Amino acid sequence: MKTIKAIRGMNDISPAEVSYWQLFEDTARSVLAAYGYQEMRPPIVERTELFQRSVGESTDIVEKEMYTFEDRSGDSLTLRPECTASCVRAAVEHGWLRGGGVRIWHIGPMFRYERPQKGRYRQFHQLDVEALGFPGPDVDAELILISARLWKRLGLKNIRLEINSLGARDAQAAYRQTLVDYFGAHREALDEDSLRRLGSNPLRILDSKNPELQALITDAPAPVDHLDAQSADHFEGLKRALREAGVAFEVNKRLVRGLDYYTGTVFEWLTDELGAQNAVCGGGRYDGLIEEIGGPATPATGFALGIERLVELLKVQQVVPMEASPHAYLVAVGDRAGQLALALAERIRDQSPGLRLLVDAGKGSFKAKLKRADRSSARFALIIGDSEAEAGTVGVKDLRSNHPQTTIAQTEIGGFFHQQVLN
Ligand code: HAM
């Protein structure tokens, strides 16, 4: 029969790889708690309209990358391509903004119908961090410091920070016209994509990867040179805060990001060690979004980090996650011992919380069972035969040394493991 394969661009995370994910997730949880951010878990499916209104009709994501379908009642639903929109929707829907600012985070899968390649998938995972209700550059800086601390705690190096400012909505409109005039005067040089964007979303032309457009883009008016006074102050405040905290950055005037909701600060963390998909993390301020989706006018800022790319970077930089191999492997030989093995393992787990104990399952000779114990990477084999079952003892063999096997009372096993592996 033909085998069924996973969907292109949607990956299994194997048991061998999951320790990297757990290392990242545990570290992220601990770092975010240190800054007072709380986890939230929105659904994976939302109304299509939410992303059309937030991410923006003329973005690549909404134009061609969303997994959209009609459910049985005819509603248009979408597998979330990102989760800022969901966080904002939830905060408005449940009135979280009434009590002042909200600092939240979420980890989960996102879906974009992109052309899969290394570092770019159709189902990928993000850590998303959002601070709603804070107008100042201090919280933009706080978000950047959170990501910097994450790199530090994970032992990651060579991730560089680029920042830019797109200005407030009103100033954006005036700047947009300047940009349309500029690119409009060079129409003949534009490619098909950029011509289309000229009418719908001229800022996105600055993000074009077409090598033939780069000279034109370099000379184009940059948003950061057309800021309103308040945005300029805000941007200065951010730069000051970063310098004060010792975070190196570079202003990239062409950094515009691929989603429409940004106002003011935008930033990205980039690496040269992952090939073409070099953005590990990106975010910025979106002061107009909450009002646009029907909530009270509220400033907000946030970022999302691509976990697949981060895990790849952990591997490239040889950050080794903690071993998750079992501490001990229990082997039973003989009928009576076989009947007692599971119950004995339960008693051991009662005595030794935190102990990773694997119980041998399946048939085979004593030799075959010991071979399985060795292959499990456990340090100790616990061996129970009928005579040990009778005497209330267990044989202990250190699989990683030549020490002879010892025998200890079953009631002493907790103490033994506490001394050997758990303290
Ligand atoms: P984004 O730049 O679209 O921003 O995505 C953030 C990160 O997700 C990227 O830097 C990248 O690491 C990862 N990523 C994006 N697409 C893929 C993909 N197809 N495969 C693998 N990784 C990917 C956002 O999503 C915004 N919601 C960020 C934000 C939060 N802004 C404010 N708050």
Q: How many residues does the chain have?
A: 423
Beta strand 123-132 pairing with 160-165: unpaired
pLDDT score of 324: 74
pLDDT score of 316: 96
Question: For residues 408, 410, 416 and 420, what is the CA-based torsion angle, rounded to 10 degrees?
Answer: 90
102, 270, 303, 315 from 31: Cα distances, Å: 17, 20, 15, 21
Give the DSSP letter string of 84-140.
Answer: HHHHHHHHHHTTGGGGS-EEEEEEEEEE-----BTTB-SEEEEEEEEEES--SHHHH
Q: Token pair 């690496």 is at which residue?
A: 271
pLDDT score of 99: 83
Question: Distance from the CA of 390 to the center of ligand 1, in angstroms?
Answer: 61
CB-based contact 251:164 (threshold 8 Å):
yes
Q: Which of helix, strand or coil describes residue 393?
A: strand
Identify the CA nearest to 128 among candidates 304, 279, 309: 304
Dist CA 2 CA 142 (whole Å): 52
Instruction: Give the HSE-up count for residue 141: Cα atoms under 13 Å, Cβ half-sphere.
Output: 18
Backbone phi, psi, residue 38, to 5°: -115, 145
Residue 279 Cα: closest atom of ligand 1: 10
% of the chain surpassing 70 pLDDT: 100
pLDDT score of 200: 87
pLDDT score of 119: 97
Probe residue for ligand 1, chosen from 13, 40, 124 as the CB with the greatest number of ligand atoms within 8 Å: 124
The tens digit of pLDDT for each residue in 190-236 reads: 999 899 989 888 998 998 889 999 999 999 999 999 999 999 999 99
Give the DSSP letter string of 82-94.
Answer: -SHHHHHHHHHHT
Band of the pLDDT at 169, cuts 50, 70, 90? confident
Residue 131 class from Cβ within 10 Å (0-12 exposed, 13-18 middle, 19+ buried)?
A: buried
Mean pLDDT of 76-92: 98
Sign of the CA dihedral running 311, 312, 318, 323: positive
Residue 285 Cα: closest atom of ligand 1: 32
Mean pLDDT of 59-74: 96
Dist CA 206 CA 213 (whole Å): 9
Question: Distance from the CA of 413 to the center of ligand 1, in angstroms?
Answer: 49
> Which residue CA neighbors atom 6 of ligand 1 most closely?
304
Dist CA 281 CA 87 (whole Å): 18
Provide the mean pLDDT of the chain: 95
Question: Distance from the CA of 235 to the center of ligand 1, in angstroms?
Answer: 22
> In degrees, to the nearest 5, what angle opens at C-alpha 27 toward C-alphas 26 and 32?
100
Dist CA 196 CA 165 (whole Å): 24
Give the DSSP letter string of 307-362.
Answer: HHHHHHHHHHTTPPPPP-S-SEEEEEESHHHHHHHHHHHHHHHHHSTT--EEE--S
Task: Say yes or no to pLDDT of 128 above 80.
Answer: yes
> Which residue CA neighbors atom 12 of ligand 1 most closely?
306
279's CB contacts (< 8 A; 6+ apart) are 268, 269, 270, 306, 309
Identify the CA nearest to 60 among candidates 263, 256, 266, 275: 256
pLDDT score of 90: 98
> Which residue CA neighbors atom 15 of ligand 1 most closely?
306
The tens digit of pLDDT for each residue in 271-328 reads: 999 999 999 999 999 999 999 999 999 999 999 999 999 999 999 999 988 777 899 9
> Which residue CA neighbors atom 10 of ligand 1 most closely?
281
Question: Distance from the CA of 268 to the center of ligand 1, in angstroms?
Answer: 10
CB-based contact 46:77 (threshold 8 Å):
yes
Cross-strand partners of 387:
none
**Taking the complete model, does pTM exceed 0.75, yes or no?**
yes
Residue 268 Cα: closest atom of ligand 1: 10
Q: Which of helix, strand or coil describes residue 306?
A: strand
pLDDT score of 173: 85
Probe residue for ligand 1, chosen from 309, 311, 314 as the CB with the greatest number of ligand atoms within 8 Å: 309
Question: Distance from the CA of 307 to the center of ligand 1, in angstroms?
Answer: 10
> Which residue CA neighbors atom 1 of ligand 1 most closely?
282
Question: Distance from the CA of 304 to the center of ligand 1, in angstroms?
Answer: 5
Task: Say yes or no to pLDDT of 96 above 90.
Answer: yes
pLDDT score of 19: 93
The tens digit of pLDDT for each residue in 176-195 reads: 999 999 999 999 999 998 99
Task: Say yes or no to pLDDT of 161 above 90.
Answer: yes
CB-based contact 166:138 (threshold 8 Å):
no
The tens digit of pLDDT for each residue in 373-423 reads: 999 999 999 999 999 999 999 999 999 998 999 999 999 999 999 888 877
The strand order across the sheet containing 67-70 reads 45-47, 76-79, 67-70
Mean pLDDT of 336-345: 92
Question: Distance from the CA of 173 to the center of ligand 1, in angstroms?
Answer: 25
> Which residue CA neighbors atom 32 of ligand 1 most closely?
302
Q: Which of helix, strand or coil describes residue 302?
A: strand
Cross-strand partners of 407:
395
Show the ligand 1 pocket: residues with CB < 6 angstroms: 82, 84, 112, 114, 119-121, 124, 126, 128, 130, 258-259, 279-284, 286, 302-304, 306, 308-309
CB-based contact 49:159 (threshold 8 Å):
no
Question: Distance from the CA of 280 to the center of ligand 1, in angstroms?
Answer: 8
